[in-house]
Amino acid sequence: MKNKLLLIWIFLCQISFGQTPKSYTEPYRPQFHFTPPAKWMNDPNGLVYLNGKYHLFYQYYPEDIVWGPMHWGHAESTDLLHWKHLPVALYPDKLGWIFSGSAVIDKNNTAGFGKNAMIAIYTYHNDEIWKAGKKNTESQAIAYSTDEGKTWTKYKDNPVLNNSGEQDFRDPKVFWHEETSKWIMTLAVGDKIKLFSSPNLKEWQEESTFKPKDDDSNLGVWECPDLFPIKIKSNGETYWVMIVNHGDKAPNGGSGTRYFIGDFDGKKFTEIQKALWLDYGTDYYATVTFSNVPNDKKIVLGWMSNWQYATKVPTEVWRSAMTLPRELNLIKQKEGYRLTQNMIPQFDALTKSVFEQEKVVTPFEKTEIDLSQAEVNFTMEGGTDVIISLSNINGELFTIAIAGDIVVTDRSNSGKSDFHETFTAKPQVMPLGEDKINEVQLILDKSSIEILLNGGKYSMTNLFFPTEQFSILKIISKDDKPLQNLKIKSVARTWD
């Protein structure tokens, strides 16, 4: 009997972890984006590279498809596109649920857990204290792994940073600051970011508070900060970027991600220009970068959903996906500094051309084409007004209008939407300022679109739930202006 139970248990473990997830064919299941095998997922956590592997931990509730007591799920990849599921890394315990945080590689063994130990710095959220209406709900803690993230030990003297009396006190992102020989932590505290320093990840000292000047925007709770230096490739200048995620009132509703460009002196971050939104779609949140990536590349992942309706989207086995990993770069333009986001180069290896046309006369229409896993690219003379529609045989459609100084996406008739009133309440609008769009890239994966314009200067990420896959592409342009270099590619699934 005991043996039988053991065999059943081993069988179940194999299905869930480390093996091909046989179920990856459910309606709406992304085929080349990361999704958990089953159940609820939100933020990416502990993004870190070690010995040829990228580790993705994530907010995970393994018992239901809605948010609940948080764990850290775990997966790894050698190319950021093909992921292998691994057992849950961190379980809740008597100190609380395991909320978002980061992971570092302790190259100098500052914490004494071993040279090159992988150390997770996360938030404990104590739900009992929260329910009792008290403020000291959240504190920061650490756990370490000396076998590349396979097994984890929580530090015996947790928490390492106690609550300073604020209700929201979470999402530590930590990096090693060479100049001061200290770890720096950014932490979301209410509607500001606090910076702490530590020689060993165990004792933390408060250094400063970042609250932008003239920032009267009321953007809900501040979450998941990320501070890092980035070099402008064209002139070698380095600036610091502070990413901040906001729980509410993003430009197109609900949760969204902003960033500040500035300087960091080892203690304090000072912005040099007003915040910009990283993405104008509705479904790009809790965005953070990987630590320890070779050549200092900045690779960012976001949670492809929105707190407005994340727990209601019409998937049954699992809930939500990560965005594709994107490479961040900083550019300088006359209006100021700006991040660009582009697909990582290895993404191209997944694509295969299915249609190409150098000069495209509009109106253009291509029917019976599989747009459920596809990339569509084209270029045009800057300032050409176009409407692109992706539709299916049931007449459901998703449209993108690039017109004048705005881009507008509309999913009001894109399929299932009655799960939440905000999903189709209004179209999404992105301002372009003085810029003219001349390069369009669309990446479609079952129930999502990532729109990148002008070499990743502008991005919009949106979900949709059509009842049949999109199979018709139409493009019209004002005054029938021609388009160039239209390429439609299929994208291979990464779960074999």
**Interface with ligand FRU, residue 99, by CB under 6 A:** yes
**Interface with ligand FRU, residue 461, by CB under 6 A:** no
**Binding-site string for ligand FRU from residue 241 to residue 280, where x marks contact by CB under 6 A and - marks none:** ----------------------------------------
Closest separation in Å from C-beta 62 to ligand FRU:
13
DSSP letters of 27-45? TT--SSS---SSEEEEEEE
Closest separation in Å from C-beta 305 to ligand FRU:
9
Closest separation in Å from C-beta 96 to ligand FRU:
11
**Interface with ligand FRU, residue 124, by CB under 6 A:** no
Closest CB to ligand FRU among residues 97, 347: 97
**Interface with ligand FRU, residue 59, by CB under 6 A:** yes
Distances (CA, A) of 5 to 9, 10, 14, 78, 188: 6, 9, 14, 34, 45
| 43 among known catalytic residues | yes
What residues from 361 to 400 belong to the interface with ligand FRU (CB under 6 A)?
Answer: none
What token pair was written down for 181? 């020989």
Angle at the Cα of 100 from the Cα atoms of 96 and 104, rounded to 5 degrees: 110
Comparing C-alpha atoms, which of 111, 123, 116 is closest to residue 183? 111
Of 30, 33, 40, 42, the one binding ligand FRU (CB under 6 A) is 42
Of 123, 282, 362, 441, the one binding ligand FRU (CB under 6 A) is 123
Number of residues that bind ligand FRU (CB under 6 A): 12
DSSP letters of 446-489? SSEEEEEETTTTEEEEEE---SS---EEEEEEGGG--EEEEEEE
Closest CB to ligand FRU among residues 90, 224: 224
Closest separation in Å from C-beta 12 to ligand FRU:
25
What token pair was written down for 235? 């002139």
What residues from 286 to 305 belong to the interface with ligand FRU (CB under 6 A)?
Answer: 286
State phi, psi for 459 to the nearest 5 degrees. -140, 150
Closest separation in Å from C-beta 174 to ligand FRU:
15
Beta-strand pair 483-491/205-210:
unpaired
Of 207, 223, 226, 396, the one binding ligand FRU (CB under 6 A) is 223
**Interface with ligand FRU, residue 43, by CB under 6 A:** yes
H-run or E-run covering 319: strand 318-319
Comparing C-alpha atoms, which of 209, 102, 111, 97 is closest to residue 164? 209
Closest CB to ligand FRU among residues 227, 400: 227
Closest separation in Å from C-beta 285 to ligand FRU:
6
Cβ atoms < 10 Å from Cβ of 79: 15
Contacts of 186 (CB under 8 A, 6+ apart): 172, 173, 193, 194, 195, 210, 225, 226, 227, 242
Which residues of this protein are in contact with ligand FRU, per CB under 6 A? 42-43, 59, 70, 99-100, 123, 170-171, 223-224, 286
* Positions marked catalytic: 43
